[in-house]
């Protein structure tokens, strides 16, 4: 029996179209990783904040997963971002503190560094970082900018827009930002006023970039600067009439709510473009609350946790993480899985099927994200070390938390049982010497000596001369401190 050409074509389409549709739906999921700056664990509504409104984040958390045991890469900006991008905890990471004395921003990541962006590019993703980078950059204010090894475009990102030097990111009304290696002049500064608010420009850039890349898998690292000081915001919004004792309280609240508003805008954009069900959205903060101007006390930005930015207490290193992925992440769920920023790299490897090149201290969190707790691997412990002021370090080991306040004075460990004392009020080291011993061994084993960072060195423990030598630049010439007149007369 002969069939007509039209019938044959119809039959073929019945088989081919479902196959094509299946192929389209199997596209690797998009990833949008949003990082706030100096936002405390208790500074969002879904973690109990009452005074600062975050309705968009609260709604996403209600439809996704909250994490009560997720930790930052470190307790301050640059090293925490290094851990996030490289999958290394602070005892192994290349950058272990901010970098005073290094010209043009942070000490750059070495060229051969494995990063999340490089992995995602190998997996076929378009990659972008928008916001605050702080891991390397360019020689500024030159006609032909020279990119050092840490520049985002040399670390796997196709597109960059924002601040390279994190010191400049303190000013939301800066005179310029960077788009890749192009300096983008803004309408701010003497004689111009304050017109271009950098946070708003970042959101617009993110919206445009997502829209332009909607037809391919993409990874967007959106590193907002809010609520890091300076306290600057275009309008106070719903907080304008609040009867609060200090003006900057209103500004901080308005900044956080503005960020929340824009995260909601991005979530709605993903839905409008038909991408929501194929996009993992993660929200985090780089470290604990900055706590400046008594904002930690007024807003309880650390929640019930002790400490803030730069401390190894829970308020310094625990992050208000939530993740949203409709149809994949169990809605309204909460996880107490112990995890940290260095888990992000292996999680992306697991998600995309692209292996990590080199070593990582992380474990994939994908089983937890998908509600498969029985398949989730566990850390023996989490470790941090920081060289800002007094070198300190910390370990989370199961229910135990160990903290060393000043490593220059030895390894005097404070011990807390977080299952009974989440606020770290009762030091129980004397009652559990065997636990203290295990934590001390973990701290010593986790530290790897570095040419730039030395746990036994006094002060900030940062070798500026070595960092500059490795990268072929000259250290910043520091102005001599003005001599105290009384001391000068006494010396004479």
Tens digit of pLDDT for each residue in 163-220? 998 889 999 999 999 999 999 999 999 999 999 999 999 999 999 999 999 999 999 9
Domain coordinates of the chain in residue numbers?
28-379, 383-461
Please give the Cα distance from 448 to 40 (Å, whole number). Answer: 29
Q: Choose the CATH number for 28-379 among 3.90.1150.10, 1.20.1530.20, 3.40.50.720, 3.40.720.10.
A: 3.40.720.10
Between 300 and 6, whose confidence is greater? 300
Please give the Cα distance from 361 to 392 (Å, whole number). Answer: 20
The DSSP call for residue 1 is -
What value does the mean pLDDT of the chain take? 91
Specify the range with the lowest mean pLDDT, choosing from 22-36, 128-142, 266-280.
22-36
- The whole-number average pLDDT for the span 462-487 is 74
Provide Rg for the chain, Cα atoms: 24
**If 0-12 CB within 10 Å is exposed, 13-18 middle and 19+ buried, where does residue 103 land?**
middle
Q: Choose the CATH number for 383-461 among 3.40.640.10, 3.30.1120.10, 1.20.1250.20, 1.10.3720.10.
A: 3.30.1120.10
pLDDT-based confidence at residue 459 (cuts at 50, 70, 90)? low
Query: Which H/E stretch holds residue 12?
Result: helix 5-25
Tens-digit pLDDT profile for residues 264-309: 999 999 999 999 999 999 999 999 999 999 999 999 999 999 999 9
- With a cut of 60, say whether residue 7 has pLDDT above it: no
pLDDT-based confidence at residue 15 (cuts at 50, 70, 90)? very low
Q: Which two tokens stand for residue 344?
A: 């992000």
Which of 109, 116, 108 is closest to 87 using CA atoms?
116
Specify the range with the lowest mean pLDDT, choosing from 178-182, 358-362, 458-462, 463-467.
458-462
Query: Which H/E stretch holds residue 77?
Result: helix 77-86
Q: At residue 183, what are phi and psi to the nearest 5 degrees?
A: -80, 120
pLDDT of residue 487: 44
pLDDT of residue 138: 86
The CA-to-CA distance between both ends of the chain, in Å, stands at 117
């Amino acid at each position: 029996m002969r069939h007509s050409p039209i019938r044959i074509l119809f039959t073929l389409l019945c088989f081919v179209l479902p196959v094509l549709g299946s192929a389209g739906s199997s596209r690797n999921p998009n990833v949008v990783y949003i990082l706030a700056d100096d936002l405390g664990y208790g500074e969002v509504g879904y973690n109990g904040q009452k005074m600062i409104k975050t309705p968009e984040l609260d709604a996403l958390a209600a439809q996704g997963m909250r994490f009560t045991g997720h930790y930052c890469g470190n307790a301050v900006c640059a090293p925490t971002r290094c851990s996030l991008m490289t999958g290394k905890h602070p005892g192994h990471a290349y950058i272990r503190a901010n970098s005073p004395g290094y010209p043009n921003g942070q000490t750059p990541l070495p060229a051969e560094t494995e990063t999340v962006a490089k992995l995602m590019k190998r997996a076929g993703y378009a990659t972008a970082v928008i916001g605050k980078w702080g891991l390397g950059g360019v020689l500024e204010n030159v006609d032909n900018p020279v990119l050092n090894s840490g520049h985002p475009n040399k670390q796997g990102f196709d597109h960059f827009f924002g601040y390279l030097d994190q010191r400049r990111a303190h000013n939301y009304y800066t005179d310029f930002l960077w788009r890749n290696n192009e300096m983008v002049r803004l309408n701010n500064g003497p004689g111009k006023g304050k017109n271009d608010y950098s946070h708003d420009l970042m959101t617009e850039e993110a919206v445009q970039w997502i829209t332009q890349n909607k037809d391919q898998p993409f990874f967007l690292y959106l590193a907002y600067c809010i609520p890091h000081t300076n306290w600057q915001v275009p309008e106070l919004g719903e907080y304008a009439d609040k009867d609060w004792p200090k003006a900057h309280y209103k500004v901080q609240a308005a900044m956080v709510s503005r960020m929340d508003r824009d995260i909601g805008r991005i979530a709605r954009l993903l839905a409008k473009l038909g991408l929501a069900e194929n996009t993992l959205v993660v929200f985090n903060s780089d470290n604990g609350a900055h706590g400046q101007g008594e904002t930690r006390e007024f807003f309880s930005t650390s929640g019930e946790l002790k400490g803030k930015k730069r401390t190894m207490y829970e308020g310094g290193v625990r992050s208000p993480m939530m993740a949203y992925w409709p149809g994949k992440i169990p809605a309204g769920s909460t996880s107490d899985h112990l995890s940290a920023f260095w888990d992000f790299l292996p999680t992306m490897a697991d998600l995309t099927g692209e292996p990590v090149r080199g070593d990582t201290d992380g474990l994939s969190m994908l089983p937890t994200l998908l509600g498969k707790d029985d398949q989730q691997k566990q850390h023996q412990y989490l470790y941090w070390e920081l060289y800002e002021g007094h070198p300190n370090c910390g370990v989370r080991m199961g229910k135990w938390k160990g903290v060393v306040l000043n490593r220059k004075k030895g390894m005097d460990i404070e011990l807390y049982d977080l299952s009974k004392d989440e606020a770290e009020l009762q030091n129980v080291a004397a009652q559990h010497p065997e636990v203290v011993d295990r934590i001390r061994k973990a701290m010593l084993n986790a530290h790897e000596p570095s040419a730039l960072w030395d746990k036994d060195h006094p002060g900030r423990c940062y070798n500026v001369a070595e960092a500059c030598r490795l990268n072929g630049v000259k250290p910043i010439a520091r102005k001599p401190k003005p001599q105290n007149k009384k001391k000068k007369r006494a010396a004479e």
